[in-house]
Amino acid sequence: MSNSVKTIYLKDYQAPDYLIDETHLKFELFENFTMVHAELHIRRNPDKQSDELPELVLDGQELELLTVVMDNVVINSNSYTVDDKSLTLQPNKNSFILKTTVRIHPETNTALEGLYKSNTMFCTQCEAEGFRKITYYLDRPDVMSKFTTTIEADQQSYPILLSNGNQIASGQEDDRHWATWQDPFKKPAYLFALVAGDLWCVEDSFTTMNQRKVDLRIYVEPENINKVNHAMTSLKNSMRWDEEVYGREYDLDIFMIVAVSDFNMGAMENKGLNIFNTSCVLARPETATDMAHQRVEGVVAHEYFHNWSGNRVTCRDWFQLSLKEGFTVFRDSEFTADMNSRTVKRIEDVAFLRTHQFAEDAGPMAHPIRPDAYMEISNFYTVTIYEKGAEIIRMLHTLLGKEGFRKGTDLYFERHDGQAVTCDDFVKALADANAIDLTQFKRWYSQAGTPQLEVLESYDSATKQYHLTFKQFCPPTPNQEEKQPFVIPVKMGLLNKQGQDLPLQLVGEGTLVGDVILITEAEQTFTFANVGEKPVPSLLRDFSAPVKLKFAYSKDDLLFLMQHDNDGFNRWDASQRLAIEAIQQQVVNYQAGNPMVLDSGLEKAYASLLADSSLDQAMVAEMLSLPAENYLVEISEVADPDAIHAARQFIRQQLANNLKGQFLTHYQANRAVSQQEAYRATADHIARRSLQNMALSYLMLTDDPQVLTLCLDQFKHSDNMTEQLAALTNLVNSPYESEKQQALVDFYEQFANDPLVIDQWFAVQANSQAGDSLARVVELMKHEAFTIKNPNKVRSLIGAFANNNLTGFHQKTGAGYQFLADQVLALNTMNPQIASRLLTPLTRWRKYDEERQQLMKAELERIMAADKLSSDVYEVVNKSLV
């Protein structure tokens, strides 16, 4: 019942009354049920003594309790209470062994939480609170235990039996076999994992910095065995990187990854046995794009890095989620930057943050990176906790410098190894190691919202002084009207007429460390001396803080920064500002019914980018991509989807027509190289293909039959998915109806056996700019390859439509909203986590015009009125309607 959903508060945190030193599990897996036998070695928490023995309240959901035995005495059902969330007993000793047996049904588990089946294999997902669907337990991260797990199953169907740690015994009896695994490290239940299935594996090994040999295994269903090399290479690179950059060595003799098709998230860092969504581990050139390859590399690294930032040192409670996630995202993004192009990685991350996290921060679900209340923790695996959390860690890295930061993390790992700790503990370790005060900085942990940083300049030629005044303001967010000033590190430079950085000489008040000034007040002026001429400021280089920077750059300033700034990120950012201005003016024209025009400055800028052969190709491609429609929505006061789409499209079209020759030259040159060189997922190859595909997408707007020929050739004769999918996408969004239909048919036939490629096929159609996209999506839901039970399918068809197809989803009739609400309701009981995530676009109703607002709200209200809302869906809808 929805109205029984309770809010949980950080301020109510209490240490557990009991601890579980050892956990012995035995699973008997059958086709129609599974038996779970648990033996828990329980003891009172010595830190929480009282005269009386408190009740023992074990978490448990959807469990059929068969027996309870305490210290070998069977407990009669009169002596305990069971409800739909817990099992409560009254112990009579300080320490005892509790044995329970429960029956569960993984074979009908569609929520994909706890123990469930994906295709023919059994697997688990326990974070955050899935373990309680496996057995009665103290399912909270501050209860850490040593696990021993025995799995018994049919030998034929489930030849592979895996759990955390090392296999210590195995055996066989008739047609069933068993294996026992022991994890020598204490861990919370959310890091438990079990897998049973008919799997193949690729094996490799890694020798650690202390010359220990670690066995590496990636398990997949047999048909995927040729798609794991990239993940294996990424894993070995991650292991080396964590040793070199953080001094962290792997700690078990074996590290396993298992790929599963049905998974709610990207992947999970279970100790020694990571479980991955197939989409985050499988990749080979013919079936996975460059982006997919990079995602695999990043997620493999992320989960591996959790072995220290998350597993060895874990979270005390779920309010501390960003302790492990923000830090680990920061770690994986630095890894990716080291493996590929640092600037491109930064650009991608910031574009993502600005589009998705800034929108979350401005919406009804806004929360600080350490929330102080939640109803359903699954709803807090957010871009704020992850991506903004990583930005907060990045700022700490900027403040302390590389060495200071490392001293801090060394102290953190040393001090807290084997513990469940808080964000405060993390910041304290960094502060202690560097003897600095981070009290004010910690407001980033407790205050939600995206600060605006407005900057005003003034130059005095007589004194040769240049003044910058910074004003910070953070808009109110739910339950936080007023905010205290943040510490905002602003990395900057002052450019002279030649585009060179002037030396920064601060006079008077303020702190300058290297090229970083520290904003700490609501309003603050910095004065720079010996500035011979009025400079152009380059502010917030490398996006040194997650804020919205406002500075009245002229168009000429932006063109100048685009060409000269020695910070690659800011060169790109200048190009984006220029494009945004040009688009926003056409939005106004479109709305007023005036003709739209292409800004000549933007065209000139693009022409010179295309002409400059000294530039890094990846940078050119980034700078030539106009800001995404979603981002244009985010920065609008009132977003007009049709106008945004029309204006952006108009500019693309004009640029395509006017710069056609240059686009063609780039296209042909790069395509020729693609045809000669075998595919590699390296930074230079990826850069080349992204420029090639960028050029193709402009060229396809020119309605030139020769371009169509080029596109068809790329579609039919590429040895890699990056080129083939780009060509398909262009065809799908082109006016060439018969070529488009044929390409879709051919592509499906070519890849019908590869679900991950078919996901792409669904997504391309869901994002189609043809007017009938909603009807098409509805039709595709009936396709043989679609199933609403598979989260990847839901994301690639329904999610892609609602999140990325701006005009399709926001059509004035409200049909898009109604469609989404229907799908949320269908998923509400089947898979509450996916249902709740799917809701995101509807929660942003305040961004749109009055009519659309009413239509969106009506759908939220319709969901609210439905029976048996899951806590996941209830929380999001409830907060969105407040």
**Contact region with ligand PHE (CB under 6 A), list: 230-238, 259-267, 330-338, 514-522:** 259-267
Distance in Å, CB of 381 to ligand PHE, minimum: 5
Distance in Å, CB of 126 to Zn ion, minimum: 14
Is the CB of 264 or the CB of 477 nearer to ligand PHE?
A: 264
Is the CB of 238 or the CB of 617 nearer to Zn ion?
A: 238
Residue 268 contact partner, candidates ligand PHE, Zn ion, none, CB within 5 to 8 A by sort of partner: ligand PHE
Distance CA 496, CA 512 (A): 20
Distance in Å, CB of 260 to ligand PHE, minimum: 11
Distance CA 453, CA 474 (A): 9
Is the CB of 265 or the CB of 366 nearer to ligand PHE?
A: 265
Residues in the chain: 882
Distance in Å, CB of 813 to Zn ion, minimum: 40
DSSP result, 133-182: GTSSB--STT--BEEEEEEEEETTT--EEEESSEEEEEEEETTEEEEEEE
Distance in Å, CB of 386 to ligand PHE, minimum: 7
* CB 726, CB 758: distance < 8 Å: no
Kindly write out the interface string for residues 209-248 of this chain, putting x where it contacts ligand PHE by CB under 6 A and - elsewhere.
----------------------------------------
Is the CB of 280 or the CB of 351 nearer to ligand PHE?
A: 280
Burial string for 326-353 (b: 16+ CB within 10 Å, else e) reads bbbbbbbbbbbeebbbbbbbbbbbbbeb
Distance CA 23, CA 134 (A): 13
192 binds ligand PHE (CB under 6 A): no
Is the CB of 387 or the CB of 872 nearer to Zn ion?
A: 387
Amino acid code (one letter) for 86: S
| Residue number with the smallest Cβ distance to ligand PHE | 265
Is the CB of 125 or the CB of 149 nearer to ligand PHE?
A: 125
Name the token pair of 146: 């040593």
Residue 381 contact partner, candidates ligand PHE, Zn ion, none, CB within 5 to 8 A by sort of partner: ligand PHE
Distance in Å, CB of 4 to ligand PHE, minimum: 24
Is the CB of 274 or the CB of 343 nearer to ligand PHE?
A: 274
3-state secondary structure 322-339: HHHHHHHHHHHHHHHHHH
265 binds ligand PHE (CB under 6 A): yes
Is the CB of 127 or the CB of 565 nearer to ligand PHE?
A: 127
Residue 573 contact partner, candidates ligand PHE, Zn ion, none, CB within 5 to 8 A by sort of partner: none
Distance in Å, CB of 529 to ligand PHE, minimum: 47
CB atoms within 10 A of CB 184: 14
CA neighbor of 139 nearest in space, from 92, 191, 193, 90? 191
870 binds ligand PHE (CB under 6 A): no
346 binds ligand PHE (CB under 6 A): no
SS3 content of the chain, % helix, strand, coil (to 5): 45, 20, 30
Distance CA 232, CA 745 (A): 33
793 binds ligand PHE (CB under 6 A): no
Which residues, at least 6 apart from 646, have a Cβ–Cβ distance to it below 8 Å? 586, 590, 596
Among residues 17, 127, 183, 317, the one that binds ligand PHE under rule CB under 6 A: 127
- Say which of 152, 221, 297, 303 is annotated catalytic: 303
302 binds ligand PHE (CB under 6 A): yes
Residue 127 contact partner, candidates ligand PHE, Zn ion, none, CB within 5 to 8 A by sort of partner: ligand PHE
Is the CB of 325 or the CB of 599 nearer to Zn ion?
A: 325
Which residues, at least 6 apart from 51, have a Cβ–Cβ distance to it below 8 Å? none
Could you tell me where the beta strands, DSSP code E, fall in 174-253?
176-182, 194-197, 200-207, 213-220
Element (H, E) at 321: helix 321-339
Among residues 137, 147, 181, 381, the one that binds ligand PHE under rule CB under 6 A: 381
Among residues 61, 109, 124, 125, the one that binds ligand PHE under rule CB under 6 A: 125
For β-strands 18-29 and 34-44, DSSP reports them as antiparallel
116 binds ligand PHE (CB under 6 A): no
Question: 593 burial class (0-12, 13-18, 19+ CB within 10 angstroms)?
Answer: exposed
303 is catalytic: yes
Q: For 443, how many CA atoms within 13 A lie in the half-sphere containing its CB?
A: 16
Angle at 691 between CA 686 and CA 694, to 5 degrees: 120
Is the CB of 541 or the CB of 793 nearer to ligand PHE?
A: 793
Is the CB of 234 or the CB of 843 nearer to Zn ion?
A: 234
Residue 125 contact partner, candidates ligand PHE, Zn ion, none, CB within 5 to 8 A by sort of partner: ligand PHE
3-state secondary structure 705-721: HHHHHHHHHHHHCCCCH
* CB 433, CB 407: distance < 8 Å: yes
Distance in Å, CB of 302 to Zn ion, minimum: 5
3-state secondary structure 530-559: CCCCCCEEECCHHHCCCCEEECCCCHHHHH
Residue 590 contact partner, candidates Zn ion, ligand PHE, none, CB within 5 to 8 A by sort of partner: none
Distance in Å, CB of 374 to ligand PHE, minimum: 14
Residue 265 contact partner, candidates Zn ion, ligand PHE, none, CB within 5 to 8 A by sort of partner: ligand PHE
CB atoms within 10 A of CB 403: 9
Name residues contacting ligand PHE, limited to 308-327 (CB under 6 A). Answer: 325
Which residues, at least 6 apart from 515, have a Cβ–Cβ distance to it below 8 Å? 491, 492, 493, 504, 541
**Contact region with ligand PHE (CB under 6 A), list: 20-28, 264-272, 623-631, 663-671:** 264-272
Distance in Å, CB of 464 to Zn ion, minimum: 50
Residue 542 contact partner, candidates ligand PHE, Zn ion, none, CB within 5 to 8 A by sort of partner: none
Distance in Å, CB of 307 to ligand PHE, minimum: 12
**Contact region with ligand PHE (CB under 6 A), list: 192-200, 261-269, 513-521, 672-680:** 261-269
59 binds ligand PHE (CB under 6 A): no
Q: Is the C-alpha dihedral spanning 693, 694, 697, 699 positive or negative?
A: negative
Among residues 129, 139, 269, 640, the one that binds ligand PHE under rule CB under 6 A: 269
Is the CB of 302 or the CB of 564 nearer to ligand PHE?
A: 302
CA neighbor of 249 nearest in space, from 294, 223, 210? 210
Cis peptide preceding 128, ω within 30 of 0: yes
268 binds ligand PHE (CB under 6 A): yes
Name residues contacting Zn ion, limited to 313-332 (CB under 5 A). Answer: 325, 328
Longest dimension (CA), the chain: 95
CB atoms within 10 A of CB 47: 9
Distance in Å, CB of 856 to Zn ion, minimum: 31
Question: 645 burial class (0-12, 13-18, 19+ CB within 10 angstroms)?
Answer: buried
**Contact region with ligand PHE (CB under 6 A), list: 265-273, 366-374, 564-572, 767-775:** 265-273
**Contact region with ligand PHE (CB under 6 A), list: 8-16, 85-93, 260-268, 504-512:** 260-268
Amino acid code (one letter) for 68: V
Q: Given phi > 0 = left and psi -120 to 50 = alpha, else beta, which region is 876?
A: alpha
Q: How many chain residues are in contact with Zn ion, going by CB under 5 A?
A: 2
Is the CB of 387 or the CB of 557 nearer to ligand PHE?
A: 387
Distance CA 727, CA 598 (A): 26
* CB 571, CB 619: distance < 8 Å: yes
Q: Would you tell me which residues interact with Zn ion (CB under 5 A)?
A: 325, 328
List the catalytic residues.
303
Q: Would you tell me which residues interact with ligand PHE (CB under 6 A)?
A: 125, 127, 264-265, 267-269, 302-303, 325, 381
